[in-house]
Structure 1
């Protein structure tokens, strides 16, 4: 059955849908010997698809993998880095890093720690990074200074970033010290470095940022061993089902968004 080439590449675990689109734009993908164009369709059963000169066989599609990883500070949330910094993929064994098409869903900046999902399911990646899909993400954030009630309320109602107001957020105080405040923040959007930028704008720079949950997927679930920094685990079947809820509506025409 014909599918868009970028969708085929994401289904085979070659790249996320967004990465596959860029590969096509860069001329790295050929369809039946001719450089593919964005939006072209192909049938894996009878068309020849090449990526960087290598023919992709439909039978080589890897088994779908879904992982939760506790990212340490100093690790990059990408598949590779031009500055040779360590990436989240380097925390995995070679059997998972090579030939599986694993990639992170969204990002945590290099200084931040905590929950990040990795998969070779390009369709799920496309869905979860789409701006229409507002999966809540929970963060525990130490900020500088004592945060007042008025600042908390301002943060909850939304703050102007790049000429656009942030969506309402849940912001509550967990702990105070004479010089800092620990907040639990739940966001339903993920603009680039959003928490750090909002905190800076409100006069309380972030000292430490840790993502503890993605939707109902907890990094440290009650009654179970905590996932230490640098460790990973496969997602439970029910966690995968929760992530895939609502994937049926077509989302292809709108651009993907970047993550916190």
Structure 2
């Protein structure tokens, strides 16, 4: 059965779908000796697919890897960067960053910090980033000024953002400074720069944004020390089970072309 080459590479764990597309556009992928063009299909049972001159097969698929990274400021949540900024893969040892197909599940802005999931499981990534799966994410956010309860209630109920109302959010005050306020915000959606844009719209701009948890996966477990900035750890069995159960991997099918899969 023929499938798009980028999908095959993602399914085999060679790269994320976005990475595979970039590799194809860069001429790094060949099909039966010829350079592949984006969208080209292949039969994985009969066709020879090469990446950087190396023949790849389903048996080459690396073991599934699931990591939690504490992203520092100034590091971009992508695997490749055209502007020569540091990327998250640069924080990993070469044994993980090369040849494993590891990629981020979603993104954090370059200036934002905190919890970011990394995996080489393309199907899991697609499902976790699909709008139907509302995985709660917790943020500690310093904003300028002292937003009153009325503003916080507006934020909780949802704010019109580019013609679409945001989903209800949990927003509470953790600390007040002289000229700023620390908020804890829990979202179940992840629209582009959502917290920063809503805060700006409400006239209390973000000073710093730090993600502390993704569901029960925390940078600082209740009985452990905080994961240092720039460091990573492997997810434990409970955390992996949470992710897989959350998206019901056994019952939800990934669309054939995975058009919405973007990391």
- Same fold by TM-score, threshold 0.5 exceeded? yes
Task: Give the match for residue 212 of structure 2.
Answer: 212
Work out the CA distance in 1 between the residues paired with 2:145 and 2:130: 35
Residue number in structure 2 paired with 1:256: 260
Greater Cα shift, 247-256 or 132-141? 247-256
Q: Provide, for residues 222-244 of structure 1, a one-character-per-residue CA deviation record: whole Å limited to 9, x for no partner.
A: 11121010111000011111111
In angstroms, what is the RMSD of aligned CA positions?
Answer: 2.4
Mapping for residues 69-80 of structure 1, pairs under 5 Å: 69-80=69-80
1:37-76 Cα distance to aligned partner (Å, 9 max, x none): 6384623x43322345543222221111111010111111
CA 50–258 in structure 1, closer or farther in 2 if over 3 Å, else same: closer
- Partner residue, 2:128: 128
The alignment partner of 2:152 has SS state of: helix
- Answering whether residue 161 of structure 2 is matched by residue 161 of structure 1, we say yes
Q: Give, in whole Å, the separation in 1 of the partners of 2:91 and 2:14.
A: 20
8 Å CA contact retained: 1:25, 1:38: no
Q: Which runs of 5+ in 1 are unaligned?
A: none
| C-alpha distance in 2 between matches for 1:65 and 1:113 | 22
User: Which stretch has the larger CA shift, 162-171 or 137-146?
Assistant: 162-171
Tell me which residue corresponds to 1:106: 106
Aligned counterpart, 2:62: 62
Gapped regions of structure 2 (runs ≥ 5)? none
SS in 2 for 1:191: coil
Q: Secondary structure at the match of 1:244?
A: helix
Distance 2:54 2:143 in 1: 49
Quote the residue 2:147 is aligned against: 147
* Residue aligning to 2:177: 177
Closer, same or farther: CA 39–217 of 1 in aligned 2, 3 Å: farther
**More deviation in 75-84 or 55-64?**
55-64
CA contact (8 A) 1:17 1:126 kept: no
- Distance in 2 (CA, whole Å) between partners of 1:73 and 1:3 is 38
- Partner residue of 1:42? 43
Give SS of 1:50's match.
strand
- The alpha-carbon deviation at position 176 of structure 1 amounts to 1.2
Checking the alignment, whether the CA contact within 8 Å between 1:200 and 1:206 is kept in structure 2 is yes
User: What TM-score do the two structures reach when normalised by structure 1?
Assistant: 0.89
In structure 2, the residue corresponding to 1:80 is in which secondary structure? coil
Matches of 2:232 and 2:137 in 1, distance apart?
18
> 2:85 corresponds to which residue?
85
Query: Cα deviations across residues 25-47 of structure 1 (Å, max 9, x unaligned)?
Result: 7876554456466384623x433
CA distance in 2, matches of 1:234, 1:149: 39
Distance 1:241 1:137 in 2: 17
- Report the count of equivalent residues: 258
In structure 2, do the counterparts of structure 1 residues 147 and 191 end up closer, same or farther at CA, with 3 Å as the change threshold? same
Deviations 1:104-135 (A, max 9, x none): 11111111110001111111111111122211
